[in-house]
Structure 1
Amino acid sequence: MSKYTWLHIGFGSFHRAHQAWYLNELLKQGDDTWSIAAGNIRNDSEHTIQGLLAQNNEYVLETVSPKDERAYEVIKSVKRPIAWEEGLQPLIAVGAEENTKVIAFTVTEAGYYLDSQFKLVQSDPALKADLEGGLNTIYGVMAKILRERMKLANGNVTLLNCDNVRHNGERFHDGLVEFLTLTNQQDIVDWLKDHATTPNTMVDRIVPRPAEDLPARIKEKTGIDDKAPVMGETFIQWVIEDNFKDNIRPALEKVGVELVESVIPYEEAKIRVLNVPHAAIAWLGTLLGELYIHDSTNLEKAYKLAHDYVTEDVIASLGNDLIDLGKYRDVVLERFTNPHIKDTNQRVAADGFSKIPAQMQPTLIERYKQGATPTKTARLPATFFVFMERWNEGKLPFTYQDGILDEAAVRAMYASEDPVAVFASDKALFGELAGKPEFVELMREQVAYIRELIA
């Protein structure tokens, strides 16, 4: 039996193809010190959990390279899938066990409910419910878990954010402290200072929703009848600030995880060179009639949109001191062209109202401060504007998914006399740039450019 438990909240495909893979690598080396327990805040993945429970908690991971080189591996590191229950007591109970020493989570960018000033969006219905005692967000659930851990003889724990959020550990910590303060739980805030750490991390692997033919392919290749398979690209990376509480952690350095003093250079490169182009290609590719990322990236117009943004604005903002960003750009765009992943534009296009302030706004601001006009970066939110215009008209080929979408406000924007000005004046999206005449005019020019590009 394992000595320590790694609890993961947000038991989706990404966790199963990323963090669970790394801990499985340790198992293969004979290190069974750690095992994973995993569950969800929302009741939206029970088919996966029930599938795992029916097959000894094991599942097959298929990885595929751009050259269609496929590999199949049985992942055995998830020992306790936690079935969802109203009130989340099973999940909270595992979080409150003394041998649970890491609580990690992937709840998407929108799952932190932060505005452009990194303050909680208290008007959001889910967060509002949790401020009144609910269990709809990572903050409400974590508050319940930590309250129980305070009762332990040794409740020390590492809280590990594994989402694509800049300075993700710090952002989660500050959001949690604000939540606890708003709910009059200062005792937990005080306890956190001495009993928990929240390291920053950077995670990377493209993991699409499992294709419909995946179970049949796995059956054919391995003979395994898997009810909960997962797939991902061959490439994988994980960088973590080595700041685990009491230095209690898996020996992740033995399986390729980079444990560093500061994640920031890796994080900035990944967010700006991978995450931002990924979303932009999904938006523009959809406007040009494509449904998949690889087909969209292979469009000259979409490829150029991403390439020019990195080349002209990101490299100028970040420099090439630690990471060769030009080389990284080319590797990333090649990864996007992998036709065998079949990653959908729908998945990657999601959560634009979170991605713009968290991932694009910093480059816009930095380039202005450098005395440059960030034309190529402004082109990306302009693409989103036209993309959402199609949504407003009911002309997208799929359902747009966004955790913080204010449908009424967006429809009101497009119904206004000057929708572009309303969009460019939104402080939640553009922070200090919102409403500035030169920025409004830049957005107006770029929206016109995108409309002509797709005509």
Structure 2
Amino acid sequence: MRLAGPDGLPDTVAGPGYTPADHGTGIVHLGLGAFHKAHQAAATDTALAAGGDWRICGVSLRSPEPAAQLGPQNGFFTLIERSAEGSRARVIGAIGQALCLGPDRAGVLAALTAPATRIVSLTVTEKGYGISRATGGVDEGHPAIAHDLATPEAPIGVAGLLVWALKARRAAGVSPFTVLCCDNLPENGRLLRGLLVDFARRTAPEMAGFIAGEVAFPSTMVDRITPAATPETLAAAEEMTGFRDEAAVETEAFSQWVIEDRFPTGRPAWEAAGAMFVADVKPYEEMKLRMLNGAHSMLAYAGFLAGHRHVSDVMQDAPLAALVRRHLAAAAATLPPLEGVDLAAYAEALAARFANPHLKHATYQIAMDGTEKLPQRLLAPAADALAAGQPLGPYAFALAAWMRYAMGTTEAGEAYALRDPREAEVQARATGASDTAEIVERLMALPGLMPPVLRNNAGLRREITARLAAMRDGGMAAAIRAEAAGLA
């Protein structure tokens, strides 16, 4: 039987600690993927036991698959948590409705403008927003931005939908919702506000000041390693629950959520799920982006090309695991002290989480969207390291690994898609020259990517070039061993 609710679950599987039908919808979430289900939906499920009308209307902006998976299951799905101690499953009931913007446009717009909707949260990935790195406003070349600037009354993208909904709510005398970005962007609330204000200036000028002054955009830091679901995930969910579940996801036992506490129209009791509410998220955000995400990007590029399918495989490769630890330490050195946080202990905990053999997090999955991820994960800490006179070797190795990955072929000559919003441009620069130094020069000059302080630094360029040459000449595995040998 298909999972459709909490009834009939075995005693070993927890269900919602509340009656879902007794709680109304208060959140619209854009980006109905695995991470949202494992993180915000799970936390909201816990919070609902404390009361409130905070169930979620989940919206996929592109693919109809999430709604097709969740719809027949009344929004219920299995969350499998993997740890060294074993695995456990719980059934989540926080998602009351699952929609896809294309076929369900009327329902999505109705949800965004409903007075009961007090929060709109988002996990659309870094590339999904259409933010210009240069200006902080709209990227006119982003397909959804270009469409919505031309047809603001029929939006398909984040900025267009949110400005349209806020305008409609204001016209109807309905309070604005709080906009809660849960993607890996620095000061994500501030960035999203800048995007919406700029979009409004261009399409609804009367809304720009209102959005800037009356709409809350709390920043957040989210952390829970969540691989894409596989057939093995679904098979495990069926074995554990006794039901077929097309929407099951698996994740690690660890979860962290740090939130700026600015919710004028209320919020769920997310603290019941361990969320921290703070005045300033930025220090936590930088810690996670530079340490966890930065090390993830480095190990993904190097690991994928060295033949490691999963992050846990990387951590079984002693030389590469040593480079992961080196990167974590280098990133920590760029951070100011954070009260109550031991950065060395945090690094050790991250290494242990990466090594979790029960979590099949693919290096190829992490490697996608590099041009959107590099600025906050690798380039910002590299610039700070340069200013502080700290070694640039860890960042040079990581950037060289990205450049080798950008060439788009394995060492056996098999082609793969970069899965990057600037894929064609990046790959053309990476493969348009046979000389390693020229490849480095061309990729460092990619418009809007590297800050000038790095782009114009001859020392960094030499360090990247030497490492990329080793990767091209002797292969990634040999380059990893040589780099790790230098740590002794």
TM-score under structure 2 length normalisation: 0.86
Tell me the residue number matched to 2:403: 385
Q: Does 1:144 align with 2:157?
A: no
Residue 126 of structure 1 deviates from its aligned partner by: 3.4
Residue 373 of structure 1 deviates from its aligned partner by: 4.1
Separation in 1, partners of 2:66, 2:25: 24
Going from structure 1 to structure 2, the CA distance change for 1:66 and 1:320 (only over 3 Å counts) comes to: farther
**Aligned sequence identity (%):** 26
**Residue 178 of structure 1 aligns to which amino acid in structure 2?**
D
Going from structure 1 to structure 2, the CA distance change for 1:3 and 1:286 (only over 3 Å counts) comes to: closer
Residue 3 of structure 1 deviates from its aligned partner by: 5.3
Superposition pairs of residues 250-329 of structure 1, within 5 angstroms: 250-311=268-329, 313-322=330-339, 323-329=341-347
Q: Does 1:220 align with 2:243?
A: no
Residue 334 of structure 1 deviates from its aligned partner by: 1.1
Residue 286 of structure 1 deviates from its aligned partner by: 1.0
Tell me the residue number matched to 2:115: 98
Contact 1:48 1:227 in 2 (8 A): no
SS in 2 for 1:353: helix
Q: Does 1:454 align with 2:477?
A: yes
Superposition pairs of residues 21-100 of structure 1, within 5 angstroms: 21-27=42-48, 29-42=49-62, 44=63, 46-67=64-85, 69-86=86-103, 88-100=105-117
Residue 81 of structure 1 deviates from its aligned partner by: 1.2
Tell me the residue number matched to 2:210: 191
1:89-108 CA deviation, whole Å, 9 max, x = no partner?
32121011111000000010
SS in 2 for 1:72: strand
Separation in 2, partners of 1:109, 1:408: 18
Residue 236 of structure 1 deviates from its aligned partner by: 0.7
Contact 1:87 1:135 in 2 (8 A): no
1:187-214 CA deviation, whole Å, 9 max, x = no partner?
1212213431001000111111112122
**Which sections of structure 2, spanning at least 5 residues, go unmatched?**
1-21, 479-488
Deviates more, 1:436-445 or 1:157-166: 436-445
SS in 2 for 1:82: strand
SS in 1 for 2:243: coil
Tell me the residue number matched to 1:444: 465
Residue 405 of structure 1 deviates from its aligned partner by: 1.9
Tell me the residue number matched to 2:448: 428
The equivalent position to 1:208 in structure 2, one of 227, 230, 242, is 227
**Which sections of structure 1, spanning at least 5 residues, go unmatched?**
none
Going from structure 1 to structure 2, the CA distance change for 1:301 and 1:428 (only over 3 Å counts) comes to: farther
Q: Does 1:14 align with 2:31?
A: no
Contact 2:44 2:94 in 1 (8 A): yes
Tell me the residue number matched to 2:428: 411
Contact 1:421 1:435 in 2 (8 A): no
Contact 1:17 1:61 in 2 (8 A): yes
Residue 255 of structure 1 deviates from its aligned partner by: 2.5
Deviates more, 1:351-360 or 1:109-118: 109-118
Residue 130 of structure 1 deviates from its aligned partner by: 2.4
Contact 1:164 1:202 in 2 (8 A): yes
Q: Does 1:5 align with 2:12?
A: no
Tell me the residue number matched to 1:123: 141
**Residue 99 of structure 1 aligns to which amino acid in structure 2?**
A
Separation in 2, partners of 1:115, 1:334: 36
Q: Does 1:155 align with 2:155?
A: no
TM-score under structure 1 length normalisation: 0.92
SS in 2 for 1:81: strand
SS in 2 for 1:5: strand
SS in 1 for 2:389: coil
1:318-337 CA deviation, whole Å, 9 max, x = no partner?
14443211111111111111
Separation in 2, partners of 1:406, 1:210: 25
Tell me the residue number matched to 2:483: none
Residue 435 of structure 1 deviates from its aligned partner by: 3.4
1:132-163 CA deviation, whole Å, 9 max, x = no partner?
12634211221222221112323221000000
1:49-98 CA deviation, whole Å, 9 max, x = no partner?
2232212221111111034x111111011111124435833212101111
Going from structure 1 to structure 2, the CA distance change for 1:229 and 1:321 (only over 3 Å counts) comes to: closer
The equivalent position to 1:166 in structure 2, one of 183, 186, 194, is 186
Separation in 2, partners of 1:333, 1:167: 25
SS in 2 for 1:231: strand
Separation in 2, partners of 1:316, 1:83: 43
Separation in 2, partners of 1:384, 1:414: 13
Residue 39 of structure 1 deviates from its aligned partner by: 0.7
SS in 2 for 1:430: coil
Contact 2:220 2:281 in 1 (8 A): yes
Deviates more, 1:276-285 or 1:440-449: 440-449
1:212-258 CA deviation, whole Å, 9 max, x = no partner?
12222222222122121111111111110001124x11122222110
Contact 2:259 2:281 in 1 (8 A): yes
SS in 1 for 2:406: helix
Deviates more, 1:440-449 or 1:295-304: 440-449
Contact 1:2 1:35 in 2 (8 A): yes
SS in 1 for 2:79: strand
Separation in 2, partners of 1:148, 1:408: 39
Deviates more, 1:134-143 or 1:13-22: 134-143
SS in 1 for 2:352: helix
1:152-191 CA deviation, whole Å, 9 max, x = no partner?
323221000000111111111112222222x232212122
Residue 338 of structure 1 deviates from its aligned partner by: 1.3
Superposition pairs of residues 173-184 of structure 1, within 5 angstroms: 173-181=193-201, 183-184=202-203
The equivalent position to 2:248 in structure 1, one of 229, 243, 246, is 229
Tell me the residue number matched to 1:360: 378
Tell me the residue number matched to 1:345: 363
**Two-structure CA RMSD over aligned residues (Å):** 2.2
Separation in 2, partners of 1:116, 1:436: 20
**Residue 237 of structure 1 aligns to which amino acid in structure 2?**
Q
